[in-house]
Structure 1
Amino acid sequence: MSLSRSLVTSVCKKIIKPYFPTPISLRCHKLSYIDQALDGIYNPCAFFYPKLSNTWSNKSSNVISEHLEKSLSKVLAHYYPLAGKLNDNVSVDCNDNGVEFYITKIDCPMSEILNDPYADKEDLVYPKGVPNTYSYDGSLAVFQVSYFNCGGIAVSSCMTHKVVDGYTICNFLYDWATIARNPNSKLPSRIFNGSSFYPPTKDDLSDITNHVMPEREECLSKSFCFSSSKLAALKAKVISQSEVQNPTDTEVVLAFIYQRAMATKKVISGSIRPSILKQAVSLRPPLPETTMGNAISLISIITSEENEMDLPRVVGKLRKSKEEFRQKYRHAQTNEFAATTIGQYREMADMIVNNPCHDLYRFSSLIKFPLYDVDFGWGKPEKVSAASNGSIKNNFWLIDSKSRDGVEVLSCMKEQDMLALESDEEFLQFASPSN
């Protein structure tokens, strides 16, 4: 059951501006083709800190909030488009207007959220109405610090996909925490130059956006964990029956979830539901790691027959799709990246249009991103929720577990499908609900 929004009290809103003014030469940030093709959904991410370290345990909430505000101001100077204003689907006016920063108190212990995988975390630790919305009249990034009556705190962010992707979001949050720990830290180079690789267009991109971006639906969200031993067992299962002898954590987990989701759908409907697996992949490389903004493409596989559903075969098809994707870029010149990526987006849109009866499963992986290293000065988080939401059907985010030797999956599905998956015996042999 959802926790009541009435538990949130003392909401205070501030505007945090970049510590240094954005140089005149950077005031107009042109959107890249990829920025234009993507919708502006506000992606949520939250960090839960049940117990602050001794140094911070006696600090007042005002001191903690001020600590976060100052460091946020400094990191915004490096991620200046987030403090600006979007001009239609063309550019960002980097006018240093700032970002919204909310301070709230939550009248319940944090354990009520952390111990309930069905709790609607975003209802409490995110600003109301911001997570996963496609249209918001406020700033391009919105943040909130929440103080629980047990002494724990949560820090959350919602940043528009129109300006940043998961890679940029993770770097922003890590850099924010780095500056919070040491205000004199020198950050790595962060360059918003996507339009130099993917020049913007004046064409109507609705044929891509309408089919690639997800629709909002009423769904359930739940987290599942794959331990290191279960990952090893899944990999052994794949290796014994597949040409893929070195499957990655991402490959085996998303292939397994996709396979079991299709299997449970078959039980419900009585026959296999043709399905499409879509995975977002970073374009760094071939783009430099310093490139911020949106630098992602898509790979996919399609499953139409029951004999295509076994796990080794799904992993094999996924690996083949990845290798074909890499091959396209391996032989492409820098000035050909745009055409190659645009082709990938249009292929994905065409696949969805041409197969309207297929179920679509969306996967994104943040494995290897240091989300559990986001330490604002009082220790590492007890829990990270990278995409807790209840509105995007068949959406799955993979992140490292806190122990770093396992994988946590943040899942969003229709209620009937979620209940079927978490009752599937084969699924539960490898995955366990995580709190």
Structure 2
Amino acid sequence: MNNLPPVMPDIVRETQERMSRMYHFSSSSLDRLKDIVAMDSRWQNPTRVEVAIELFHKCVAAVSITNLGVCQPSLLCHLMNFRPPLPQNTIGNACYFFGSITTTEDEIQLPHFVAQLRKAKQYLQDKSKDPNQLASHVFENVKERANKSEKNKFDFYMCISLCNLGVYKIDFGGVSP
């Protein structure tokens, strides 16, 4: 019984307004933005996805500040694929949300976001060296994030880049879903 992952807490959330939008950034625009950020940042080679997500985060934070007059704490989550670090015979697509918490206007800058995102990625890569323990680490992290969000009121933003998010095919014995 001790080998089972921790139980996820039941969280009752208030009904909130939600919206969903899809944005497309041209390659040339992202490359220019990436070059600008790389010159102004101590982080080497930020990815185009990191740059696009942080641009989005800065824009929604600016709108929030304009509407509320203060910087509202925010939690920005980004879905990423674990593979190929996991064995190919692992069932399904293994994805995970990496998060960046900002509480001040100064933290809504690319270096802060990239540092938190890369730290979370490195932590997970270190933990995924033993694939048998990976699920328990993921559940612990999700539980910790749920506890933080329960204690604090965050503006929550979730981003997903479909670039290089491969979908693995499953052999069902002659038929495909």
> Which TM-score tier does this pair reach, normalised by the shorter chain?
0.7 to 0.9
- The AA in structure 2 aligned to 1:272 is C
Identify the residue that residue 314 of structure 1 maps to in structure 2. 113
Partner of 1:345: 142
How do residues 272-421 of structure 1 correspond to structure 2 at under 5 angstroms? 272-293=71-92, 295-329=94-128, 332-355=129-152, 357-369=153-165
Specify the code of the residue in structure 2 equivalent to 1:336: Q
Alpha-carbon contact 2:77-2:99 (below 8 Å) kept:
yes
SS of the residue aligned with 1:226?
coil
State the Cα distance separating 1:365 from its structure 2 match. 2.5
* Other structure's SS at 1:236 match: helix
Shift of 1:263: 1.3
| Rg larger in structure | 1
Contact 1:259 1:314 in 2 (8 A): no
Report what 1:262 is aligned to.
61
> Once the two structures are superposed, what CA deviation does each residue of 1:150-190 show, in whole Å capped at 9, x if it has no partner?
xxxxxxxxxxxxxxxxxxxxxxxxxxxxxxxxxxxxxxxxx
TM-score computed with the length of structure 2 as normaliser = 0.76
Q: Is the alpha carbon distance of 1:370 and 1:325 closer, same or farther for their aligned partners in structure 2, counting shifts above 3 Å? A: closer
**Scaled by the length of structure 1, what TM-score is found?**
0.34
1:40 alignment counterpart: none
- Judge conservation of contact 2:54–2:109 (CA < 8 Å) in 1: no
1:294–1:369: structure 2 CA closer, same or farther, 3 Å change rule? closer
Given that residues 278 and 299 in structure 1 are in contact (C-alpha distance below 8 angstroms), is that contact kept between their aligned partners in structure 2?
yes
Asked if the contact 2:75–2:156 (Cα under 8 Å) also holds between the matched residues in 1, the reply is yes
| CA deviation map 1:197-248 (0-9, x unaligned) | xx876x75343xx47xx98755554432211121012211221122222111
Classify the secondary structure of the residue corresponding to 1:285.
Answer: coil
Equivalenced residue count is 165
More strand by proportion, 1 or 2?
A: 1
Unaligned runs of 5+ in 2: 168-177
Unpaired runs of 5+ in structure 1? 1-198, 372-435
The aligned amino acid for 2:27 is: S
Structure number with higher relative contact order (C-alpha < 8 Å, ≥ 6 residues apart) = 2
Report the equivalent of 1:12. Answer: none
Q: Are 2:31 and 1:228 equivalent residues in the alignment?
A: no
Q: How many angstroms apart in 1 are the aligned matches of 2:88 and 2:14?
A: 30
- Calculate the aligned-residue CA RMSD, in Å: 2.9
Secondary structure of 1:301's aligned partner: strand
**SS of structure 1 residue aligned to 2:66:** helix
More helix by share: 2
